Chains A and B, each alone.
Chain A
Amino acid sequence: MNQLILSLICGIFIGGTCGYLGNLMLSKRMALVAGPLGHLALPGIALALIYGFDVSLGAFPFVILGIILIWLFEMRTRLPMEALVAIVFASGVAISFLFLPTEEAETALIGDITKVSLKETLITAALCILIFILIKKIYSKMLLINISEDLAKAEKVDVKKYNLLYLFAIAILVALGVKMVGGLLTAALVAIPASTSRNLSRNLFQYNFLSIFFGALSAILGISLFKLTSLPSGPLIILTSTIFFLISLIFKK
């Protein structure tokens, strides 16, 4: 099948689902957590590139490790989230560059969705659909937890269970995201479309719809621009997303 179509399918699924998840993360001011997770995935990505297996597969265990680390740090210390983020961020990048071959560095850092195989595309699409359904199922309760954990507990919501499912969704999507935009840019994949949507929305329906829409559209346009210019696709996707965000500032409600 045409390589461009495969890339576009991957992009639409990853971009759209990340946008949807990002809008939940934004409600808890947690959007930046995807950043250190993406960076921490770098050693895994490096291993995958060296030994020639799927980048997302390499990233996933490291993302899980990252989630456990951030969770432990938050319990153990009273340091602000930014400090924890910076520590995890730097360590991930540092470790990966101990053994990452220079010629693979670009793919690891900014991703490459333009060479995906049919099999990868099918797996990516299936995972995205599953995660999308999962997010849709937990969305109401998760949003309530993000607004106020106390209120959620008073409503007998099992906060631990929902948080675990939520983190699981984040882990899978970050692992998929690094394939598209690399360890450095994954945070933007969840943060920017949701922020754009936040600027333009007056209700939850619009907020959800536009988050998904801008996530998918940025991927489509970014990959198309790659085809035209041969510049790296990851940065093009993110910059397209940034342009939508800037435009949204003009129309901000």
Chain B
Amino acid sequence: MKEDLILKVKNLSVQLEGEKILENISFEVKEGEVLTILGPNGAGKTVLLKTLLGIFPYKGEIIWKKDIKIGYVPQRLPFIKNVPMTVEEFFKLKDVSKKETENILKKIGLSEVLEKEVGKLSSGQFQRILIGWALSKDPQVLLFDEPMTGIDIKGEESIYSLLGKLKKERNLTILLVTHDLSVVYKFSDYVICLNRYPICQGKPREILTPEGLEKLYGQEVKFYQHTHQEL
């Protein structure tokens, strides 16, 4: 693998319970890049992220740079409300010291929640905590799965400016799943449009033309009739 590459994916296909979810995906990610995965509901975006994390079996190649540390920000964590746990204790689950937790909370602008119960945070606060949690222990790559609901527009903007800030500070590589085109224009270096198989990929301004978008989202209605909910 070339030196500045963080991730190389070649002919990736994923089949879950007999159903083809992803087919023939190939792309490369360089160090410090922001890669956005774009596509309609049920296109397999979350499955792609989880496959890259090693959660699902696959065919093809996924090659990460050697000894890479990955931070994962899931869409939601519904079961966390079953457990009385402070933010500090949540970070402790992955052996993050109190001092590092305090530093991270400061960075994400939530110093005041250290001893607050995780289940009682607002959805915007909780998402920041998930990002902070993923960033503790200094990963080189962040995999961010954007939630579809629960965050207001104002909150959402600040999440991306936060991500931008953190990326600059740490030379993070970010793989991002989103529905939001404006995020793609502002934030990412490379885009993959996905609807089970790759529709198009390249730099945002080259790809996200009216024709390109029609190709991607024009199929959405058809796909709604055939697919199950996004995993």
Contact = CB atoms under 8 A, between A and B. Distances in A.
B79 A204 contact: no
A interface SS class: helix
B102 to A, nearest CB: 17
Nearest to B133: A151
Interface in A151-180: 151, 153-155
28 contacts: A27-B82, A28-B82, A29-B82, A140-B92, A140-B95, A143-B83, A144-B93, A144-B94, A146-B82, A146-B83, A148-B80, A150-B50, A151-B72, A151-B74, A151-B77, A153-B53, A154-B143, A155-B94, A198-B84, A202-B84, A203-B85, A203-B86, A203-B89, A203-B117, A204-B84, A204-B85, A204-B86, A207-B85
A242 interface: no
Interface residues of A, number: 25
A206 interface: yes
B69 to A, nearest CB: 9
A94 interface: no
- Top 3 nearest A-B pairs by Cβ distance? A154-B72, A201-B84, A204-B89
A47 to B, nearest CB: 37
Interface in B46-69: 50, 53-55
Contact of A153 (B55, B77, B79): B55
B92 A27 contact: no
Contacts, number: 70
B84 A147 contact: no
A206 B82 CA distance: 14
Query: Which of A141, A151, A205, A207 has the most CB atoms of chain B within a 10 A radius of its CB?
Result: A151
Contacts of A155: 72, 94
Contacts of A151: 72, 74, 77
B70 interface: yes
Interface in A187-202: 198, 201-202
